[in-house]
Amino acid sequence: MTGKRAAVTLVSFLVLSAACLAQGFAPRPPIAIRSDADLTPENGVVGGRGTPDDPYVIAGWEIDAGEGVGILLKGIDAHVVIEGCLIRGGPRGTGLSIAGSSRVTVQGCRFEGLGTGIFLYESPGARLIRNEFSGCWTGIQGNASPSLLIRGNLFRDARKYGLFLWRARGSVLEDNRAFGCGAGIYLDSCNGLTVAGNLVQECGWGIYLWDSHSCVLTRNAVAGCERGLGLYHTSSGNLLYHNAFLDCPLPAFDDSSGENRWFAPYPRGGNFWAGVGLEDRYSGSGQDEPGPDGIGDTPVRIPEVGLDRYPLMELPLGLPALEKGEEE
């Protein structure tokens, strides 16, 4: 970096910091970055050199995407962090579009009223952390992007999906929250995912897997949804245990011919099913030895073919906290 460019970057960073302290965000036009050469102060970069230890930083901006794109990253090799931005827009707008750019972290941003908050395409390894999505048609949509980390995001009132992934092999989805969405989490053709510690509340579908295999779903709470957790269209080899289904008319559905397992080996147990009357007078892997063990004596059947052999009598440890005083 030249001395002149470094000075410009420093001045931009100081001006932005002052604006952020005074108003929270600094307004600016949309940003389009189509190569590493576009990562300049004029395009919203406030610091960094694009390395793992010192990534380029785009931070503190307020952007109206309208019906276009608020921030575009395409074909970027450098390490980039986008943080602390507010992006609003219309129902056809996209807050942040990331394509062919794997070394990107988006954290602490807010997306409001957009068609899609964050759109990912062929960007394996991207990290989306602690962002908030309000009133978007879809919060996050990730296509053909494996090994994502999606952690601690909040989705409110997404009319279609809070989080939608297609072909996101080996991704981790943890500690996210979705309220009042058409579907909280929708996974299409996703294999080997870890889905843990998420809260999905008052949605149409809570968590939905379509043609998805070998995923682990644990410590998720699905509360007040019309339909809780569904495994559809050949979804198989999935392991589901220590989840809680609370006040859902249809807690779960599994049409995979019995190829998913709704419990961990004894004595770890299966899932908690609110409103299902269970007794606990017996123990052991066959539930045929005298004495309680915290596991229901009879399995819970899941339409059409699922079976939880070891349903829990109490809520499992490590669940996310519910909102609005839902039963715990």
Position of tokens 């879809």? Answer: 138
Global pTM value: 0.91
pLDDT in tens, 239-288: 999 999 999 999 999 998 768 999 999 999 999 999 999 999 999 999 99
pLDDT at 324: 65
Q: What is d(CA 213, CA 6) in angstroms, rounded to the nearest whole number? A: 49
Task: Specify the 3-state DSSP secondary structure of 3.
Answer: helix
For residue 43, the model assigns a pLDDT of 98
Question: Could you check whether the bond before residue 267 is cis, i.e. omega within 30 degrees of 0?
Answer: yes
* pLDDT digit string, tens, across residues 74-91: 999 999 999 999 999 999
- Is the separation of the CB atoms in 248 and 223 below 8 Å? yes
Confidence (pLDDT) at 11:
44
Ranges of residues in the chain whose predicted pLDDT is under 50: 1-23, 326-328
Give the residue among 91, 93, 33 at the shortest CA–CA distance from 58.
33
What's the rounded Cα separation, in Å, for the pair 131 and 110?
Answer: 6
Spatial neighbors of 68 by CB under 8 A, at least 6 apart, are: 30, 89, 93, 94
Q: What is the helix (H) or strand (E) element at residue 195, kind and residue range?
A: strand 194-196
